[in-house]
Amino acid sequence: MLHKLVRALAAFSLATIAGVPVSALAAGSIVVMRTNDANNYDPHKTPGRAGWEIVTMLSDSLISLAPDLRTLEPGVAESWSVSPDGLTYIFNLRKDVKFCDGRPMTADDVVYSMKRWVDPETRATQRSRAGVVDDVIAIDPYTVRYVLKRPYSELLYQLTLGTAAIVDRHAVEKLGQDFGVTGFNGVGPFCWESWKVRDELVLRRNEHYRWGPPQYENRGPAKVDKIVWRVVPEDNTRIAALQTGQGDISYVVPFWAIDQLRKSPRTAVVKAPLSGWTAFAGIKVDREQMADPRVRRAMRCPWTRRRSPRRSGRAKPIRPSPMSPRASSTTIRRWRRARRSSTRPPPNVCSTRRAGGAARTGSGPGTASDCRR
């Protein structure tokens, strides 16, 4: 199950994972360092990556997603089928799945988890990912019928996410608002042990685990006894901890430290070929300043797609769409042509068209020459 940890971290990483060699971790406990903590670890309520990366270790979902981020594989459901109209999904569950407390998982647990996910009273952060649900029914102890009101082609992929994890009704009802805060009972490879907020979360091996998806080299109990997720916000402290053995793994690696870690005999650096996460900059257009498209164009000007990612020497630029919602038709046509070409870069909107007229000439802020810098 150490393979699961490394693969999971690769999915969450935007660039690189660093730490001691994998062969040195297959015993005892390991310390994974990250920059921030979550406000809770309830799969239906946690809002972001810091929560979901833990939830995926605490409980599995019906389906799993292979490392290519395309192929669907069995999770706690060993098989499934979809009706021709795309409204009804039948999931056939494994009969050997157990919660951390040893209680067998049945269709009733899946039904409870799915209904809790879409219940408005839960106020789930990712409720829309479940589709427009008509009903979820336990046909028998190991078969679940998931019915939609309208087709939703993404459903199977959404069911691979941590927000679709199976939870224990008894634990939820016992802990109430503290579920995912003071305790958790799931069907994942690790179990909840303790949590010190903004310090560390300790997970212990689930001794019952035998149902890992096909992508795992070890589909049984983890080869490590415990995983300690420690919050270390400062880059220098985190890198020093890797080099001195105070920490074992970190998927948050500053670019300046990569060569340094590669040269160290105590650490190994692994690059993630694919990432399950996308970083983006969101703009609140309901604010007075941001509502003006000229401001948004000006914010875009300093960014040069071809140069900025390469400053670190570790990344390749992607081909995004024009940022401005009022880009001229000429700009959009140029961008579409560039998108079809593997060599021609997309145009710079702010050098192509200025709000209310042509781009300014000359030099200085907001001019075409400024955009090209």
DSSP-derived 3-state class of residue 148: strand
The arithmetic mean of pLDDT across residues 307-334, rounded, is 54
Q: pLDDT value at position 348?
A: 44
- Which of 60-74, 218-232, 294-308, 320-334 is the least confident region? 320-334
Q: pLDDT value at position 181?
A: 97
CA–CA distance, 222 with 298 (Å, rounded to integer): 51
Q: pLDDT value at position 267?
A: 92
CA–CA distance, 163 with 60 (Å, rounded to integer): 10
The arithmetic mean of pLDDT across residues 266-270, rounded, is 91
Give the closest residue to 75 by CA, choosing from 4, 151, 149, 140. 4
Give pLDDT tens digits for 97-152.
Answer: 999 999 999 999 999 999 999 999 999 999 999 999 999 999 999 999 999 999 99
Give the closest residue to 188 by CA, choosing from 98, 126, 276, 116. 98
Q: pLDDT value at position 213?
A: 94
Q: Is the pLDDT of residue 351 over 90?
A: no
- Which of 64-68, 77-81, 100-104 is the least confident region? 64-68
Give the closest residue to 14 by CA, choosing from 260, 233, 279, 250. 279
Tell me whether residue 1 is exposed, middle or buried, using C-beta atoms within 10 angstroms of its C-beta: 0 to 12, 13 to 18, 19 or more: buried
Q: pLDDT value at position 84?
A: 97
Q: Is the pLDDT of residue 189 over 90?
A: yes
Query: By percentage, how much of the chain surpasses pLDDT 70?
Result: 71
CB 189 within 8 A of CB 206: yes
CA–CA distance, 306 with 3 (Å, rounded to integer): 35
- Which of 66-70, 134-138, 183-187 is the least confident region? 66-70
- Between the alpha carbon of residue 337 and those of residues 31, 278, 279, 331, 341, the distances in Å are 48, 25, 25, 10, 7
Q: Is the pLDDT of residue 372 over 50?
A: no
Q: What is the 3-state secondary structure (H, E, C) of 244-311?
A: HCCCCEECCCCHHHHHHHHHCCCCEEEECCCCCCCCCCCCCCCCCCCCCHHHHHHHHCCCCCCCHHHH
Q: Is the pLDDT of residue 34 over 90?
A: yes
What's the start-to-end Cα distance of the chain, in Å? 48
Task: Return the number of other C-beta atoms located less than 10 Å from residue 122's C-beta.
Answer: 15
Give pLDDT tens digits for 272-302.
Answer: 776 656 666 677 888 888 888 888 888 776 6
CA–CA distance, 167 with 153 (Å, rounded to integer): 25
Residue 118's Cα: distance from chain center in Å?
A: 20
- How many Cα atoms sit within 13 Å of 322 on the Cβ side? 25
CA–CA distance, 181 with 51 (Å, rounded to integer): 11
Task: List the domains of the chain with CATH numbers.
Answer: 2-59+171-271 (3.40.190.10), 66-169 (3.90.76.10), 293-372 (no CATH)
Q: pLDDT value at position 299?
A: 78
Query: By percentage, how much of the chain surpasses pLDDT 90?
Result: 60
pTM of the predicted protein model: 0.74
Q: pLDDT value at position 4?
A: 41
Which helix (H) or strand (E) covers residue 143, if one does?
Answer: strand 143-148
- Which of 31-45, 50-64, 222-236, 351-365 is the least confident region? 351-365
| Residue 354 per-residue DSSP state | B
| Amino acid in the structure at residue 254 | P
The mean pLDDT value of the chain amounts to: 81
Q: pLDDT value at position 357?
A: 41
Q: Is the pLDDT of residue 12 over 70?
A: no
* Token reading at 163: 């927000």
